[in-house]
Structure 1
Amino acid sequence: MRPNLAALLCLPVICMPMAAQNATPAEAEALVKEAIAYAKTHGKDAACKEITRPDGSLRKHGGELYVFVNTMDGKNLAHGMGARFVGADQSKAKDPDGVEYMQERIKLAKTKGKGWHEYKYLNPKTGKKETKASYIEVWDGLIFGAGIYKK
């Protein structure tokens, strides 16, 4: 009985570093593919609702890794940081350095259909504007994406 108790007491020490790990590029790409699969199975509207839901299944790392969906003209259809972003026209959005990140995203979507781009954005975990690399993929005329904050 004592060895089991000792093993249980060690679990927090083992699991805490895993929980604190930053999201990886592979996780961002996998989450985008998961969101597209969800949309294919349940429909675009249901996917957008699931993506925007605060406790939705398409949020990882304590909300730091989430999905967003944009139209090809820069309108938000879904956003993992909450419903307040849905419907917003971000076609002219700039990061603190003046990078028109939505225009870069749209160009990438139209020319390659998928890929990575960088800009600065508010990290919901830290509350600070940090460099973010987002992976996007076009499905059915929409841009599905997820990003990681670079440390």
Structure 2
Amino acid sequence: MRIILFLFSVFFGVQLFAQDWQSNFAQTLQRAKVESKPVILIFAGSDWCAPCIKLEKSIWQSDEFVAYSQENLLLYKADFPRKKANKLSAQKQKENDALAEKYNSKGYFPLVVALDSEGHVLGKMGYENVSANEYVGLLKKYFE
């Protein structure tokens, strides 16, 4: 019984603090309209971009960002991995390429794009060597 209780609490504890990264950008925008929430669109190179990896570990996985994003944002990551083992499906690559053409034509990595619920750009930023609280504060300025 203790084992079941332990596994139950671990599973739901992980679910409670897991981020809700969206998997389809068009659906993310539809959801943003319904929920009246802004979208954070992140362009990352998850297996080659050192600042992208730092952002992932120090900001996106932080308790501060997770708590803020769960209540206030929708999240979409357009990943551009280079290693063969991390290759995206052709459909996902096509979707990310179209997003890059529209929102990241200069090819900056990482690039964090704040969008309103209609998909209009509110602001852009990259990696900042600041605390998670400070980074969340920088993002909040786009939504005021």
Q: Normalised by the size of structure 1, how large is the TM-score?
A: 0.30
More helix as a share of residues: 2
Q: Which has the higher contact order (CA 8 A, sep 6+)?
A: 2
Q: Normalised by the size of structure 2, how large is the TM-score?
A: 0.31
